Chain A
């Protein structure tokens, strides 16, 4: 049974994906049902495993493809951090996407690839070896492309190509790193390192650079980030997938795995790689925020904000002290919850009132109070103000930096918070305090209630979750913070 559970979890997303591909375009209800059944079935399974792993249970499934190439699923506490995030957000994003894409074209293709992306993400979270990770990572790369290019107009196709050029180059670097490393030390499984420290240090540094560089493309590390803002032409549910549920998270998660489970924190520190990684992440944090500042398109501003925010996770990883590690890991969840809310709301604004630019939000707080309240909560959280989740991440990163003796990081955090405030507060001010000046258009016919509900309620749910993760951070061990603490103290403790 312990081997079957990972497979079962994978199939909750994989089976709907395959089924949906073969559904006729007109079978809207069946498609929605298949999708939701998969998403709903996944949650209790993940819950079951959360409970098991908390109690110290092992879940492993191994299958030899060819000699030296094992397909290995193994669930540890770190897997579950990502797994539970993507499972929870998949359900909400599906509800949102069903409403958002009502009456749109090519729905079978869209939802098929959407489920396939989530299946890939699930696989990434559960991978027990480098090569298994790579298999799913590539599946994610490829299944995201049709979603980015979904609309099929010239801009979408161009941004799809942009995405592919970056991510395929990144995958090539990653695969080169993997093959090189395994050529030195044999097949590499996570959390079972023995031989790697014996390899030549300079070779290891190159391998680290290739792997982190390859993964950094998806994690949108500077200077590999430009595909992410370009991809915002995709429909809002795809943005949610890119920014919160799957893609950038897969990159960040991969870097965490490489640092913790392939090289190990000790070796990364010995090779002198931790601080440079933290420095690149810090630069990306400031750079992303600066670029966000001068975007007038809401989704573009949010995209640059992601460039900045995801690097918090990598910063915490690079600092390598226990508290900073907790801060980085918990931000994986927190950033996901907050950013998905912001994109849900941006999509709702565009669908309801045709608002795309920041100058157009004047007074819409009164027109769409619930949506904008959710947006505001998460914007405040992004800035890092209590009691929203973002505060917890920043607090742990800050104390972690002091603990690791890297005081300069505090300036990065403070500077980033100021910049976040500078690019989020004007939106909030315009929303709530400016009168409506006719910058938005009401739809000709009122939107169907089901559509409005589908657009608003997921945003409310994730906003509440962001707030709850901040308020109930101390609840052990199933709050995001509690789980991150469990990971660090139990699996990576000194």
Chain B
């Protein structure tokens, strides 16, 4: 097979490096302390180059695998990157660079008077930890390594919520930790069950050995339940808004854009790659109904928030719901209309464009808090005039949330909608339309306020550095760009995808 290389080779070296780089970064930044100001940016840039290189390798040569130390599975650790992994890696890197630039204004290891700040020192190693966890999740091909990566992700992400040390965020972080650990536990139980039955943890080997029996079903259900708790999927979602809404803006952006996507990514991997024949209509419908409930309840709750950051956090709940519509819809349209490109791609597209849009929204909210001193939606009058770039970015990211063109969100919705309608599954289409209209209502509720002329001109309480505004705008533009040139990520996604990603579960 071309491109599948065992042993030390450029491609496999890249995969190993993608996991090693953030870990090394954390180890480097910790002892350097206040001398490490520029190190994170260099690492993030290197990460972007690395992710691009991996994506390029996958694009040219197909699925990339690396057996660390030359030991093949089941003995050694095997890393694997197909189109989906490459897209997720690239998304992570592309979000991290602007978030890093944004965070540099807030989390300096040294305060203005030269002292070391606790938040400034801790933020960067934690970010590296999150990054390592994400890359590990996307590249591991082994249930145990995935568990390690997920735990790393949790243990780095939860402290990010509490960095500012406010009382409310501590409670939120504890709740987050509780749900995340419960999720890990359930996942571990499922993984143990599979290992006990089949004697391997390697995903590729397991996929061949798993049968449609009760033990597999129980294992799959346990792991899925655990991952749903980590994804904040309805009905295990209530920990998310206070945690994401209360964290510092840069942390919220990473949590909402990337961290919840890692566990979603694993749900996709499990069902489409590991148990494609195990999911019957009922199971798929239940997952879809969770998604629908998340879309509707999340959007309605977002509408009722008085604070911008909480609105954005509830919107994450709603947007995560769309991802789970891919399960009942997968493969549905292909029989009726061969041209429908499929719900699987639609779901992934949604995850990616939401990552950029949501990161931009959280960073934008952070700038508003910095610039005008609060994020009360009712008092945003004049913001469009004082911080035009931020409000423009809010509007552009809003396109993805509403699923309107031109945006990656529209392409995702189009893929999901055409599948739903071509296979006559009206209900899911109606939910998506309703979700779009509700999103429009909460997006324009904010824009309406920001566009209004205030009685007194709005004065910025603190100047906002241009580079931070540009970081917000950049992320919004990427979410729009995904709607203008979707063909490249779309084709990359298809590389190495199993039959189930095209034809559904049977």
Q: Which A residues fall within an 8 A CB radius of B?
A: 21, 64-69, 105-106, 109, 131, 134-135, 138-139, 142, 145-146, 149, 151-154, 157, 160-161, 164, 168-169, 171-172, 175-176, 179-180, 182-183, 186-187
- Measured between C-beta atoms, what is the minimum distance from A280 to chain B in Å? 24
A65 engages B486 (CB within 8 Å): yes
Q: Which residues of the other chain, A, contact B50 by a CB distance below 8 angstroms?
A: none
Task: Tell me which residues across on chain A come within 8 A of B337, comparing CB atoms.
Answer: 68, 182-183, 186
Sample of 18 A–B contacts (CB below 8 Å): A21-B392, A66-B414, A66-B486, A67-B339, A68-B339, A69-B341, A134-B405, A138-B405, A153-B452, A157-B452, A164-B440, A164-B444, A179-B421, A183-B333, A183-B336, A183-B337, A183-B340, A183-B418
Identify whether the interface residues of B are mostly helix, strand, loop, or mixed.
helix
- Considering the chains assembled together, what is the distance between the CA atoms of A149 and B421 in angstroms? 36
The 3 closest A-B pairs by CB, nearest first: A152-B453, A183-B421, A183-B422
* Residue B429 is within 8 A (CB to CB) of chain A in the complex: yes
Among candidates A69, A134, A161, residue contacting B448 with C-beta atoms closer than 8 Å? A161
Segment 376-391 of B: residues with Cβ below 8 Å from A: 384-385, 388
Report whether B405 and A67 are in contact in the complex, using a CB–CB cutoff of 8 Å: no
Any A CB within 8 A of the CB of B56: no
Cross-chain contact A179 with B429 (CB below 8 angstroms): yes
Quick one: closest A residue to B381, CB to CB? A152
**In the complex the two chains form, is A157's CB within 8 Å of B451's CB?**
yes
Q: A131-B414, A168-B440 are in contact. List 8 more A-B contacts (CB 8 A).
A: A21-B392, A66-B411, A139-B405, A176-B433, A179-B421, A180-B421, A186-B337, A186-B339
Q: Tell me if B345 and A66 are in contact (CB < 8 A).
A: yes
The answer to the question of B417 belonging to the interface, with a C-beta cut-off of 8 Å to chain A, is yes
* Chain A residue nearest to B336 in the complex (CB): A183
CB neighbours (8 Å) of B404 from chain A are 138, 142, 171
A160 touches B448 (CB 8 A): yes
CB-defined contacts of B437 to chain A, threshold 8 Å: 168-169, 172
Q: For A134, what are the chain B residues with a Cβ–Cβ distance below 8 Å?
A: 405
Given contacts A142-B404, A172-B437, contact A68 B340 (CB under 8 A): yes
Type the 1/0 row for B431-465, where 1 means its CB is closer than 8 Å to any CB of A: 00100110010001000100111000000000000
B497 at interface, CB cutoff 8 A: no
A162 to chain B, nearest CB (A): 11
A-chain residues with CB within 8 Å of residue B414 when the two chains form the complex: 66, 69, 131, 179
Report B's interface with A, CB cutoff 8 A.
Answer: 333, 336-337, 339-341, 345, 384-385, 388, 392, 399, 404-406, 411, 414-415, 417-418, 421-424, 429, 433, 436-437, 440, 444, 448, 451-453, 486-487, 490
Considering the complex, give the chain B residue whose CB is closest to the CB of A176. Answer: B433
Given contacts A109-B388, A179-B417, contact A146 B451 (CB under 8 A): yes
On chain A, the residues within 8 Å of B444 by CB distance are 145, 161, 164
Contact B433 A172 (CB under 8 A): yes
Question: Once the chains are docked, how many angstroms separate the CA of A106 from the CA of B383?
Answer: 13
Return the chain B residue nearest A172 by Cβ.
Answer: B433
Q: Which residues of chain B are within 8 angstroms of A161 by Cβ–Cβ distance? A: 444, 448
Query: Which residues of the partner chain A approach B417 to less than 8 Å between Cβ atoms?
Result: 175, 179
* Contact partners of B406 in chain A: CB under 8 A: 135, 139
Chain A residue nearest in CB terms to B424: A183
CB-CB under 8 A from A139, the residues of chain B are: 405-406
B445 to chain A, nearest CB (A): 9
Q: Quick check: B421 and A106 within 8 Å, CB to CB?
A: no
Task: Write the nearest CB–CB distance from B148 to chain A, whole angstroms.
Answer: 35
Which B residues lie within 8 Å of A179 (CB)? Answer: 414, 417-418, 421, 429
Closest Cβ of chain B to A211, distance in Å, is 14
A138 to B437, CA, bound (A): 13
Nearest residue (CB) in A for B399 is A142
Residues of B within 8 A of A171 (CB): 404
Please, which residues of chain B bring their CB within 8 A of the CB of A65?
A: 411, 486-487
- Chain B residues contacting A160 (CB-CB under 8 Å) are 448, 451
- Complex: A457 Cα to B32 Cα, angstroms: 70
- B452 in complex: contacting residue of A67, A135, A152, CB < 8 Å: A152
Return chain B residues, CB-CB under 8 Å to A138. 404-405
Q: Which of A134, A149, A183, A187 gathers the greatest number of chain B CB atoms within 10 Å?
A: A183
- Determine the chain B residues whose CB is within 8 A of the CB of A187 once the complex forms: 339
Kindly state the separation between the CA atoms of A97 and B493 in the bound complex, as whole angstroms: 47
Nearest A-chain residue to B485, judged by Cβ: A65
Chain B residues with Cβ under 8 A from A146's Cβ? 451
Let me know if B436 and A182 touch, CB within 8 A: no
Task: Choose among B399, B411, B414, B423 the residue with the greatest number of A CB atoms under 10 Å from its CB.
Answer: B414
Separation of A157 and B421 alpha carbons in the complex (Å)? 36
CA separation between A164 and B404, bound complex, in Å? Answer: 13
Judge whether A67 and B341 touch: CB under 8 Å. yes
Task: Return B340 CB to nearest CB of chain A, in Å.
Answer: 6
Q: B18 → chain A, closest Cβ, in Å?
A: 27
**Residue numbers in B under 8 Å from A135 (CB-CB):** 405-406
- Docked CA distance A161–B449 (Å): 11
User: Are A64 and B487 in touch, CB under 8 angstroms?
Assistant: yes
B436 touches A68 (CB 8 A): no
Question: Shortest distance in angstroms between B322's beta carbon and chain A's nearest beta carbon?
Answer: 15
A151 close to B453 (CB less than 8 A): yes
Using CB atoms, name the residue of chain B closest to A65.
B486
* A110 CB to nearest B CB, Å: 12
A149 touches B448 (CB 8 A): yes
Smallest CB separation, B466 vs chain A (Å): 13
Whole-angstrom distance from the CB of A64 to the nearest CB of chain B?
Answer: 6
Q: How far is the CB of B262 from chain A (nearest CB, A)?
A: 25
The minimal Cβ–Cβ distance linking A48 to chain B, given in whole angstroms, is 27
Please report the C-alpha to C-alpha distance between residue A65 and residue B406 in the assembled complex, in whole angstroms: 11
Set of chain A residues within 8 Å of B423, measured between Cβ atoms? 183
B residues in contact with A67, CB < 8 Å? 339, 341, 490
Q: Which residues of B contact A66 (CB under 8 A)?
A: 341, 345, 411, 414-415, 486-487, 490
Nearest B residue (CB) for A142: B404
Whole-angstrom distance between the Cβ of A113 and the nearest chain B Cβ: 11
A residues near B451, Cβ cutoff 8 Å: 146, 149, 152, 157, 160
Distance in angstroms between the alpha carbons of A175 and B420 in the assembled complex: 13
**Contact yes or no, A176 B429, CB < 8 A:** yes
Q: Which residue of B lies closest to A67 (CB)?
A: B341
Q: Which residue of the partner chain A has the closest CB to B340?
A: A68
Interface centre among A21, A65, A161 (most CB of B within 10 A): A65
A453 to B411, CA, bound (A): 46
A65→B424 CA distance, assembly (Å): 24
Smallest Cβ-Cβ distance to B411: which chain A residue: A66
A464 to B384, CA, bound (A): 40
Chain A contacts for B392, CB-based, 8 A: 21
Task: Tell me which of A106, A152, A153, A164 has the highest count of chain B C-beta atoms within 10 A of its own C-beta.
Answer: A152
Asked if residues A172 and B422 are in contact (CB atoms below 8 Å), the reply is no
Return chain B residues, CB-CB under 8 Å to A142: 399, 404
Q: How long is the Cα–Cα vector from A168 to B398 in the complex, in angstroms?
A: 14
Residue contact B436 to A172, C-beta cutoff 8 Å? yes
- Residues of B with C-beta under 8 A to A64: 487
CB-based nearest A residue for B342: A67
Most chain-B Cβ atoms within 10 A of its Cβ — which of A66, A149, A175?
A: A66
Bound Cα distance A152, B422 (Å): 43
**A69 to B333 Cα, complex, angstroms:** 15
A residues within 8 A CB of B453? 151-153
Q: What's the minimum C-beta distance from B505 to chain A, rounded to whole angstroms?
A: 21
Q: How far is the CA of A87 from the CA of B433 in the complex (A)?
A: 34
Once the chains bind, are B436 and A69 in contact (CB under 8 Å)?
A: no
A219 to B399, alpha carbons, bound, how many Å? 24
Closest residue of chain B to A135 (Cβ to Cβ) is B405
Smallest Cβ-Cβ distance to A132: which chain B residue: B405
Interface centre among B336, B340, B424 (most CB of A within 10 A): B340
Closest to B450 in A: A152
